[in-house]
Amino acid sequence: MADVRKILFTGAAGGIGTMTRPLLARLYPGLVLSDMVRPKDLLPSETFVAADLTKPDEVAAAVQGAHSVVHFGGFSVEGPWDTILQANIIGCYNMFEAARAAGVKRLIFASSNHAIGFYPRKRRIGSDVTVRPDSRYGVSKAFGEALGAMYADKHGMAVTCLRIGNVGPKPLDVRRLSIWISPEDIVQLIGIGLEHPDIRYEIFYGASDNKAGWWDNSRAEALGYRPIGKSEDHRAHAEAEQAKIGPDPVGDLFQGGTFCSAEFTNDVKRAGP
């Protein structure tokens, strides 16, 4: 749906930003893009505003005049605590608070499957489960979801959190057969967050139509989500790639994969719900 409202898209130069920008630009001409570095191939209809999420004045300048924010900025993998703290916790707070001060009506937050990574693969879960982060990165995404709930309840902002699996043209291994989402499908979820009149505070799973999926995404489906990507179409590729990786005695048990096994010092029988 074409839209003249100002939409700020953070993390525009990142991996997901690069994959989704061309699709979003067709639906929402006039996107304002933000990142620490200028995205390549800026379209004539797009505007770029450089902003460091850890600097409140830069975030406030980027969000000024926006009706909606698609917040995909931040540090996108596990990292040292201070890196996660600055980019994903302080930076996330700065974005929500700047959005509130600027009168932003809707915010879509890029959460992650790593907020619930310690659920076992054999268990199917909905979006209302207790968070079980598998990493400092996962903790930062759980924080962002909680922050979004507060801004929705306290300030009336319509907040949609996307627990993103893995975005790309195809699943890269067997685990990703369960969590993969195509760029087209994640844009569809963003569109629901930007447009659906019933959004108050929602958590959706960022996953396509995956036969091997672990997540009940019925809330997203109730609001109109109709994924077109099917991970099963790429099973042969995923299994071939998996054979090159080999087993992970910890990660293979849990939905978060290698994020669970990294730095793991527990007994697997005592990990997860």
pLDDT in tens, 6-16: 999 999 999 99
pLDDT, position 86 = 98
Confidence grade of residue 5 (pLDDT, cut at 50, 70, 90): confident
DSSP for the chain reads ----S-EEEESTTSHHHHHHHHHHHHHSTTPEEEESSPPSS--TT-EEEE--TT-HHHHHHHHTT-SEEEE--S--S---HHHHIIIIIIHHHHHHHHHHHHT--EEEEEEEGGGGTTSBTT--B-TTSPP--SSHHHHHHHHHHHHHHHHHHHH--EEEEEEE-EESSS--SHHHHHHEE-HHHHHHHHHHHHH-TT-SEEEEEE--S-TT--B--HHHHHTT------GGGGHHHHHHHHHHH---TTGGGBTTTHHHHTT--S-GGGS--
Give per-residue pLDDT as tens, 190-213: 999 999 999 999 999 999 999 999
pLDDT, position 1 = 41
Give per-residue pLDDT as tens, 126-146: 999 999 999 999 999 999 999
3-state secondary structure 37-102: CCCCCCCCCCEEEECCCCCHHHHHHHHCCCCEEEECCCCCCCCCHHHHHHHHHHHHHHHHHHHHHH
What mean pLDDT value characterizes the chain? 96
Cβ–Cβ under 8 Å, residues 61 and 67: no
pLDDT, position 41 = 87
Give per-residue pLDDT as tens, 29-45: 999 999 999 998 899 99
Residue 58, pLDDT above cutoff 90: yes
Separation of alpha carbons 145 and 152, rounded Å = 10
Reply yes or no on domain 7-270 having CATH 1.20.1640.10: no
The pLDDT > 90 percentage for the chain reads 96
What average pLDDT does this structure show over 80-100? Answer: 98
Residue 3, pLDDT above cutoff 80: no
Separation of alpha carbons 209 and 198, rounded Å = 23
Catalytic positions, written as ranges = 137
pLDDT, position 186 = 98
Over the range 147-173, which residues count as b (16 or more CB within 10 Å of their CB) and which as e? bbeebbeeeebbbbbbbbbbbbeebbb
Residue 4, pLDDT above cutoff 80: no
What average pLDDT does this structure show over 59-82? Answer: 97
What predicted TM-score, i.e. pTM, was given to this entire model?
Answer: 0.96
pLDDT, position 2 = 43
Give per-residue pLDDT as tens, 152-194: 999 999 999 999 999 999 999 999 999 999 999 999 999 999 9
Give per-residue pLDDT as tens, 210-234: 999 999 999 999 999 999 999 999 9
pLDDT, position 161 = 98
What average pLDDT does this structure show over 51-60? Answer: 98
